[in-house]
Amino acid sequence: MLNIVLFGPPGAGKGTQSQKIKEKYDLIHLSTGDLLRSEIGAKTELGLKAKKLMDQGILVPDEVVVGMIDNKLQEHKGANGFIFDGFPRTVQQAGALDNLLESHKDSISGMIALEVTKNELVQRLLKRGETSGREDDKSEEKISKRVEEYENKTKPVADYYKSQHKFTSVEGIGEIDEIFENICSAIDKLPR
Ligand code: AMP
């Protein structure tokens, strides 16, 4: 199986590139942000609780997202593999993901990290906020909070995969198709 963690700060282009990777390699795309937004849309109790944190740019508790990923892995037994987008976002989530995959006799093939400067991220997210309707894209203050959460809690996840020799970084600024080609070269070098 091919299990990829697509990593990078908010606005790095993970969602856009995930769609292309999913099609080319026939993988299941799991975005915890999308899963949480669909809980909000369905007005579930989980969604209502998560919305309060998400609107402020704060991470939701680890057990909430790990539980959602657990359900999806069960639902898609027999898939060619998964692309994890926006997950894991803490070292604890990364450990939980390893345990979940191990229980399916599986593992992460590699992490691919999109490198984008902070200035570019803020500009991209403010622009996206004009059309996305996302509360957390709407002000520079909320965007800064999300980048701060990334710096403090999520960046260490890269070291987690570096220590397992599963880390590759790819330039995240440029043409979408050019970035995609570089991601594909990295994916094609991963063990399966
Ligand atoms: P995203 O769509 O990936 O930018 O996520 C939007 C928001 O959902 C984040 O700012 C967090 O509040 C929440 N979220 C998404 N994925 C996670 C995760 N893996 N762990 C904790 N919170 C998450």
d(CA 162, CA 146): 23
Q: What is the pLDDT of residue 36?
A: 98
DSSP for residue 154: I
pLDDT at 157: 98
Q: Is 8's C-beta closer than 6 angstroms to any atom of ligand 1? A: no
Which atom number of ligand 1 is nearest to the Cα of residue 14? 3
pTM above 0.85, yes or no: yes
Give residue-wise pLDDT tens across range 71-129: 999 999 999 999 999 999 999 999 999 999 999 999 999 999 999 998 999 999 999 99
153-185 pLDDT, tens digit per residue, is 999 999 999 999 999 999 999 999 999 999 999
Can you give the pLDDT at residue 192?
Answer: 80
Query: What are the DSSP calls for 70-86, one per residue?
Result: HHHHHHTTT-SEEEEES
Handedness of CA 165, 170, 172, 178 (dihedral sign): negative
Of ligand 1's atoms, which has the minimum distance to the CA of residue 57?
10
Ligand 1 pocket, residue 32 CB under 6 Å: yes
Pure H helices in 56-175? 62-75, 91-103, 118-132, 140-149, 156-163
2-7: strand order across its sheet: 28-31, 81-85, 2-7, 110-115, 167-171
